[in-house]
Amino acid sequence: MSENPLIASNLNDFIFCPASLYFHGLDSDTDKLMCQDDYQLNGTAAHEKSDNGQYSTRKSVMQAISVYCEKYDILGKIDTFDCENGILTERKKKIVTIYDGYVFQLYAQYFALEEMGYSIIQMRLYSMEDNKVYPIELPNDNKEMLQRFEKVIADIQSFEIKSFRQTNPKKCSKCIYEPLCSYSANKEVTT
């Protein structure tokens, strides 16, 4: 493991806005109530049972297990993995859109489990609020998505914030860091 492995949830954050990774690093020791909006707090609360290992009592279900993928140098945390049936599940409070970042979190977990010798037969996203399951193709069954996953990892590794400028004002308007961010599309550029 390298000194600074990528965190699987950062894949989704980077896709939303690369600058958010910088701010996440700044607030990592800050009280969550001070640096998360309602949406993020609801997501944290929704994961509470699986994070505490209370989602399932079945011994064949791994839950809240930290995993590492050497190939991509990524750390992740599995919501649930049913070892008996080979089903890997990433839980979300409510899924309205299946974002690439959600899928890439599953990919990171998939590759880590595969390196550990587990057989993953099915991956899925689970929307807790409306009890919906969204099957996700395994990485080798969707070469285009696998290439996008690898590109995001390469983009993160080569990213330089000094040359970044967010161009999507909608993303900035939904970002809790926007008031602090000098990379915002909603602020004038000063040179």
Q: Are the beta carbons of 85 and 121 closer than 8 angstroms? A: yes
Tell me the CATH number at 139.
3.90.320.10
Q: Is 72 helix (H, G, I), strand (E, B) or coil?
A: coil
Residues in Cβ contact with 56 at an 8 Å cutoff, skipping those fewer than 6 apart: 63, 80
Highest mean pLDDT among 53-67, 87-101, 176-190: 87-101
61 inside domain: yes
The pLDDT value given to residue 19? 86
188 inside domain: no
> Is the overall model pTM greater than 0.85, yes or no?
no
Residue 163: CB atoms within 10 A of its CB come to 6
Helix (H) or strand (E) holding 20: helix 19-26
Tens of pLDDT along 106-147?
999 999 999 999 999 999 999 999 999 999 999 999 999 999
Q: Is 80 helix (H, G, I), strand (E, B) or coil?
A: strand
The length of the chain, given as a count of residues: 191
Q: Are the beta carbons of 20 and 177 closer than 8 angstroms? A: yes
45 inside domain: yes
132 inside domain: yes
Q: In this structure, what DSSP letter does residue 77 have? A: E
Structural domain range at position 80: 6-180
Angle subtended at Cα 130 by Cα 133 and Cα 57, rounded to the nearest 5 degrees: 65
120 inside domain: yes
Tens of pLDDT along 14-68?
998 888 877 776 655 545 444 444 554 454 455 455 455 555 656 789 999 999 9
Q: What is the CA radius of gyration of the chain?
A: 17
How far apart, in whole angstroms, are the C-alpha atoms of residue 50 and residue 55? 5
Domain count, the chain: 1
